[in-house]
Chain A
């Protein structure tokens, strides 16, 4: 028989050994050595064996002794999940890596829009669900200790020197110490807890070897071989397949769900995962591990039932069988195996829960209490670590008090199943979150609330037994006396196994509420964004949020990061980011990419929601939501429109500027023209004035002038005065026409008559040298216009022909024709015509054809042009027609056929 003190010594030695291993692994990881081993798939697979707790090590045998093969369901579910890694675990691990998830609460909160409420709910539920489980571990360690103290191997009548509660206390203290030491060493969860993972892996090997050793001893040492063992099994009270189908299915599913949802499993499976490829190996290696660990459970149970006295606690057969055969070494190994199972579970579960509690409960509260922000005061890093340590102590204390309160009673299996049922409530929300984009935060909250309430009412409280919380009448008659609300016969459906009943109702109504509320509610923008990221995680992993970081000073971020990650890590991170950006020095530009990377880095330490809150404090709370993005898109669309408007305006401006420039050129030209006109006109005026003055002076001063001479000089003065008058008349006429002050006197006359009048007037008093021929296609055309002005134009043209046609036999042909554009009248002489370079300027004022004689001032054609413009027609020179040809055109309304006076009348 091994003494208790001896056992405690061995225990302490084993713990020191574990400490040593964990310490070495931490040191190796820090120095970058042994990464191949520390991050090998073997270690990953072994760390998964955290699933096999003391419940497996001791409880499975007890379970088998009580209920036959049912204990297997607890391992079949996880095996199926691992074998089906491609479906769920692959996604979870991808999400965990891309979103830097720190716990299952973090994952669920991140998926549903980084909701802290959801994180708190999940955390509280996890703590409530897992606390009995931790108590269970303490209970099993204390039980196993007590059996060494108890003389009768029944584990019921403990030695009076053995104080179970104080033993539990010391075990709890030791575990808390270990977890605090190795679990809160480094803050960033993504640096992995190498020490703990290695310790867990070692313990996985120890418990497997211990159980296999006991199994081998039982089968070959006690039963006498495989055949005999099988025969014994068949002959035992549990010798036939006697299984309720509903329990078989339900427990398998429940364990599969718990495997995914247990915080500690999530920790080792997703958070501590180094490479996704490890999953592929674990997918067959872990089922094999589970198979080996449950292989000898049935033989041990059967042989224990056979050999040990009736009334022995079957939960302790693994220990009591070797002890009864005086195999003290084996018993010691077995004890260490059980101790390993319990401690590794407590350490990892506490670590996972403390991360959740500190990230989702303590940190938000702390941040809310210090509104001024993380940069102002205090060392966040210390606060986080302190929060985590306090959380660890709190959770272990909770487990201890639960153990004390429950008095260490009840079969291990029952407590385990209740715990499984609690955490399984996360499953609908978890699966919905990674497969269904329509899942919303409200739906998740509703599902969790319904599922959790039902679990408490149908599983947790009844599990404590009648009279503890729920009284016997409640069991019999239902809550508030309502028959529909009986905890083990909900809605009046009786006769179902309590576990199946609870699991069925809680999970189905949980899923129903989750789906229904999700369908009815509309997710917030961040939720939709995260939902798309989570569901499509395998297809792509992209940026999830954009910070507008222009306001965030890199320095402020640096100060905050230092306080969370520690100065060294923060500086290394900033330096590497600066290097990637190609920035000199150690402060990177606060680009959105950098801020996002920083937030993820921080999320690894304090959780997504808290990291988000902290970064937003510094950046000024300007995280861009989808709504903001939409607003920005709208704004940029407006800007685009505005800029196109600007562009158009600037085009218009350029156009106007061009017009102005042209107008200015024209003005300059006009000014030059005016100057030219003035000098021209003064010249034109001076010439006659000069001769008038000279001749009038002669007349005044000369005494001896003959009458003839006097007469001649007076005639010259007279003619010059006439010329002056004519010139001034012309100028006045032109000025009136140009200013548009002229009023037209519309009269009617046939074209022929008008032309005759013009010819007659023009040729009157002249030597009848010019022969004029008038021909027109339609002699009946009536003209309706200012005829006096038109005649003036005609006279001018005829006079010009008279003056400038230098032919020996000057002829002028006047021909009129009706066209679609109106009436055209051509004046064609048989002279030399006008030189090409002069054609463009003959209509200018004061322009006279070079080499011409005569007294014209050069205003005639200019006046003609103005008149025709007033009349709505025009006058032009037709080049290359043999002689000078001027065409006068009149608008259609000015000429009406004879037969159409009615139309004319109607127009008036």
Chain B
């Protein structure tokens, strides 16, 4: 992978392809991040029988939808950086 001798390849390109590979790693790991974040509410305290305490629904809503937005945006950013046409264009630069 990144093991070609430095003399043979420019440092710039090496770094770039290294970056591309890490981007693909991120694409692969993103669902696990999403799963972890969306399962986090399991640790939240539940309200007592009288309906007191616990996490307010508005907070829960904002958290869950925030994670959702974050995942979609992150997915978009990663897609921008990993799509084939993009890397091709970059390679020509």
Contact = CB atoms under 8 A, between A and B. Distances in A.
Interface of A: 68-69, 72, 76, 79-81, 83-84, 86-87, 230-231, 233-234, 236, 238-243, 245, 248-249, 252, 277, 280-281, 283-285, 287-288, 290-291, 295, 298
Contact of B65 (A241, A252, A291): A291
Contact of B58 (A81, A84, A234): A234
Main secondary structure of the interface of A (DSSP, over half): helix
Nearest to A291: B68
11 contacts: A240-B55, A241-B41, A241-B47, A241-B57, A248-B42, A283-B75, A284-B76, A284-B79, A285-B72, A291-B65, A295-B65
A79 B71 contact: yes
A479 to B, nearest CB: 34
Given A239-B56, A280-B79, A291-B69, A248 B41 contact: yes
Given A242-B54, A280-B79, A295-B65, A69 B60 contact: yes
A241 B56 contact: yes
Nearest to B52: A240
B51 A79 contact: no
A285 B30 CA distance: 15
B30 A281 contact: no
B28 interface: yes
Contacts of A83: 30-31, 34, 71, 75
Nearest to B76: A284
A241 B43 CA distance: 11
B74 to A, nearest CB: 8
A230 B82 CA distance: 38
A239 B57 contact: yes
Contacts of B2: none
Contact of B56 (A81, A240, A281, A295): A240
Nearest to B51: A240
Given A86-B28, A284-B72, A240 B54 contact: yes
A52 to B, nearest CB: 15
A727 B59 CA distance: 140
A240 B41 CA distance: 12
A880 B39 CA distance: 112
B30 to A, nearest CB: 5
B13 interface: no
Interface string B10-54: 000000000000001001101110110011011010110001011
Given A234-B58, A241-B54, A291-B69, A69 B64 contact: yes
A277 B83 contact: yes
Main secondary structure of the interface of B (DSSP, over half): helix
Given A243-B46, A280-B83, 19 more contacts: A68-B57, A76-B38, A81-B31, A83-B30, A84-B30, A86-B24, A86-B27, A86-B28, A233-B57, A242-B47, A249-B39, A252-B39, A277-B84, A280-B79, A281-B79, A284-B71, A291-B68, A291-B69, A298-B57
Contacts of B73: 284
B42 A241 contact: no
A295 B69 CA distance: 11
B6 interface: no
Contacts of A231: 58
A79 B68 contact: yes
Contacts of A281: 79
A252 B38 contact: yes
Contacts of B64: 69, 72, 76
B56 to A, nearest CB: 5
B61 interface: yes
A288 B57 contact: no
A670 to B, nearest CB: 79
A249 B57 contact: no
A252 B41 CA distance: 13
A234 B56 contact: yes
B39 A87 contact: no
Contacts of B41: 241, 243, 248
Contacts of A236: 57
Contacts of B27: 86
Contact of B35 (A80, A230, A285): A80
Contacts of B83: 277, 280
Nearest to B47: A240
Contacts of B53: 240
A549 to B, nearest CB: 37
Contacts of A80: 31, 34-35, 38
Nearest to A243: B41
A285 B34 CA distance: 15
Contacts of A283: 75, 79
A249 B42 contact: yes
B7 to A, nearest CB: 32
Question: B51, B71, B72 — which one has the most chain A CB atoms within 10 A of its CB?
Answer: B72
Contact of B72 (A72, A81, A233, A291): A291
Contacts of A249: 39, 42
